Amino acid sequence: MKFFVDTADVAAISELNDLGMVDGVTTNPSLILKSGRDILEVTKEICGIVSGPVSAEVVAIKADEMIAEGRKLAKIAPNIAVKVPLTWDGLKACKVLTGEGNMVNVTLCFSANQALLAAKAGATFISPFIGRLDDINLDGMELIADIRTIYDNYNFTTQILAASIRTVNHVTEAARIGADVMTAPPEVIRKLAMHPLTDKGLELFLADWAKTGQKII
């Protein structure tokens, strides 16, 4: 499974990238706002840090305007994936931008039928939102499983990018089901390394080591 980090915080991206934990980055207008920086400037910097896809989202709602914005975003760097919403206009923009050789991430997916349309429109990535479905008492993982089955049935090449990941369990389940990519905030990725038994075991080892009175350095 590929790991994308869902942030526009360049310091966090750099740290995770240095550890080999970043295969790409996803951003959106909310994350750009949180960064407090110009979208073109911060996106270009992120593209220079990571070699994988960096999703930059359009903000227009009409197809022609989405296409124009997407073309401008795509010029930032070769690893830009233009992010468009899963609306009818977004699908039109996806078809055109993909046809021009751009990577396209179709976002805000909440149903298998939407994912099927995105694949038909040539999307590079489809981003089903797990956490937001869980918020309204639906099973986000069920959606990932449905999309996986449909894409495998027809050999669609669109990659399933599990998004709106809130917990480490979301990551585990998405990997078990077979999502191609998951994108999560830096803090969720860091929590993947945590386990109370690891902490307990380390505490015991260090206590025993102290009793030996030895030093390695």
Give me the active site residues, please: 83
Q: What CA–CA distance (Å, rounded) separates 86 from 108?
A: 6
Alpha helices in 39-137 (DSSP H): 39-49, 63-74, 88-99, 112-120, 130-135
| Beta-sheet pairing, 2-6 with 125-128 | unpaired
CB 128 within 8 A of CB 134: no
Rounded CA-CA distance 186/12 in Å is 7
- To which residue do tokens 């110009």 refer? 38
State how far the alpha carbon of 28 is from the alpha carbons of 23, 43, 82, 83, 116, in Å.
Answer: 17, 11, 11, 8, 23
At 4, which helix (H) or strand (E)? strand 2-6
